[in-house]
Amino acid sequence: MRILVTGGAGFVPSHLCERLLSEGHEVVAIDNFVTGHRRNIAAFAQHPRFSFIEADVTRELPVPGKLDRIYHMASPASPIDYVELPFETLYAGSDATRLGLDRARADGARFLLASTSEVYGDPAIHPQVESYWGNVNPIGVRSVYDEAKRYGEALTMAYHRYHGVATRIVRIFNTYGPRMRPNDGRVMPAFCSQALRGEPLTVFGDGLQTRSFCYVSDLVDGIDRLMESNLTEPCNVGNPHEMTMLQLAEYINRFTGNTAGIIHKPLPKDDPTRRKPDISRASAELGWAPRVSFEDGVSRTVDYFRALGEV
Ligand code: UDP
């Protein structure tokens, strides 16, 4: 198939490009490097079935030829990005979703929206199941991401219902692995970089808030399976292995041999208290389950940051 991946030079989408290439598809990636990086596509940039277009997908999709699949993955995706790039974040979830859906409709392509566990906000239901409508602050600092993705989901369902476009919606939970930006502010690159520099890890608030971390190859497996399934309802993909940020900090310090300990910093506004995916739907409909252990995933991620040398 001929497949478009928006945000192709980003962390998750670059791994998706590699997987789709390994399956024999022709892959076109598009990115404007607002948060993506050329080094993320370096490993397959010369592949004969890969091509790259530098463009801003919130304005245009200048991709020649007919497409069979469109993965709309482009968006800033870290709480620091939402503060620094509010409009890029809003338009990636809204305008770019519309351009992708219009193109899918014109080409008869299947369209997948990369949505997020952030649609659940600071959830009152635990673990989060797809039927939960969420608890989102519509004007808070994270709202540029949360509400754009919620609008993106609404738009995707409208194109499905009214225009008959074949659509899929994946709700991505916290993901980690090689190709994260060391300074993107998210907890995994922050802790790994700090530990490798021998600095104390910055735990926000009391550190009792939880997250559940999925290794990137597991996530990409789930996304690929969802695209090729018949499921038009949103589907959580994430690893239910839940831990507090204090537990994460202790693990990273022990794993890297960092003796600098931790320091506490203020908790960012609207930071969700608990997060863990209910993956019954992905299990039943996609036959999907995460496979990479936390220990292996952290080991590969720390190796990446060490080799990158920017830490
Ligand atoms: N966090 C932390 N120290 C950091 C960065 C993040 O304690 O240096 C916490 C943050 O407050 C949140 C969790 O780690 O509770 C996950 O944050 P991240 O930015 O990775 O993603 P989120 O799940 O909030 O979108």
- Tokens representing 290 are 């995460």
Asked whether 153 and 133 are in contact (CB, 8 A), the reply is no
Nearest to 114 by CA among 280, 2, 226, 241: 226
Q: How far apart are CA 57 and CA 92, in angstroms?
A: 7
Q: List per-residue pLDDT tens for the chain, 311 residues long.
A: 999 999 999 999 999 999 999 999 999 999 999 999 999 999 999 999 999 999 999 999 999 999 999 999 999 999 999 999 999 999 999 999 999 999 999 999 999 999 999 999 999 999 999 999 999 999 999 999 999 999 999 999 999 999 999 999 999 999 999 999 999 999 999 999 999 999 999 999 999 999 999 999 999 999 999 999 999 999 999 999 999 999 999 999 999 999 999 999 999 999 999 999 999 999 999 999 999 999 999 999 999 999 998 54
Atom of ligand 1 nearest to the CA of 275: 23
Q: Does residue 86 have a cis bond before it (omega within 30 degrees)?
A: no
DSSP state of 41: G
For ligand 1, residues with CB inside 6 Å are 78-79, 174, 185-187, 190, 202-204, 209, 211, 245, 267-268, 271
Q: Which two tokens stand for residue 207?
A: 């550190």
Q: Is the distance from CB of 193 to CB of 24 less than 8 angstroms?
A: no
Return d(Cα 27, Cα 297) in angstroms, integer: 26
Which residue out of 204, 251, 273 has the highest number of ligand 1 atoms within 8 Å of its CB and is therefore the one to mutate?
204
Q: What is the pLDDT of residue 136?
A: 97
- Using the atom order of ligand 1, give the atom closest to the CA of residue 80: 19
- Nearest-CA residue for atom 16 of ligand 1: 187
pLDDT score of 309? 83
The residue whose C-alpha atom lies closest to atom 12 belonging to ligand 1 is: 271
Angle at 31 (CA atoms; ends 27, 32), nearest 5 degrees: 160
Beta-bridge partner residues of 172: 116, 237
Nearest-CA residue for ligand 1 atom 6 is 187
**Which pLDDT score, from 0 to 100, does residue 138 have?**
97
Beta bridge partners of 28: 4, 51
Catalytic, 151? Answer: no
- State how far the Cα of 146 lies from the Cα of 93, in Å rounded to an integer: 9
Strand 235-237 and strand 167-172: the pairing is parallel
Which position among 71, 91, 145, 176 bears the catalytic label? 145
| Distant-in-sequence, close-in-space partners of 161: CB < 8 Å, separation ≥ 6 | none
The pLDDT value given to residue 310: 55
53 CA distance to ligand 1 middle (Å):
32
User: For the chain, where are the E strands, in sequence order?
Assistant: 2-6, 26-31, 50-54, 69-72, 110-116, 167-172, 175-176, 201-204, 210-212, 214-215, 235-237, 242-244, 262-265
- From 118, 145, 186, 251, the mutation candidate for ligand 1 (largest count of ligand atoms within 8 A of CB) is 186
- Domain ranges in the chain are 2-180+214-240+277-292
Distance in Å, CA 62 to ligand 1 centroid: 35
Nearest-5° Cα angle at 238, 206 to 251: 40
Beta bridge partners of 204: 265
Q: 90 alpha carbon to ligand 1 midpoint, in Å? A: 21
Q: Which two tokens stand for residue 121?
A: 């906000």
Residue 207 Cα: closest atom of ligand 1: 7
pLDDT number for residue 311: 43
Distance CA 15, CA 263 (A): 33
Q: Which CATH superfamily is domain 2-180+214-240+277-292 in?
A: NAD(P)-binding Rossmann-like Domain (3.40.50.720)
Q: Distance from the CA of 187 to the center of ligand 1, in angstroms?
A: 5
Strand 235-237 versus strand 262-265 pairing type: unpaired
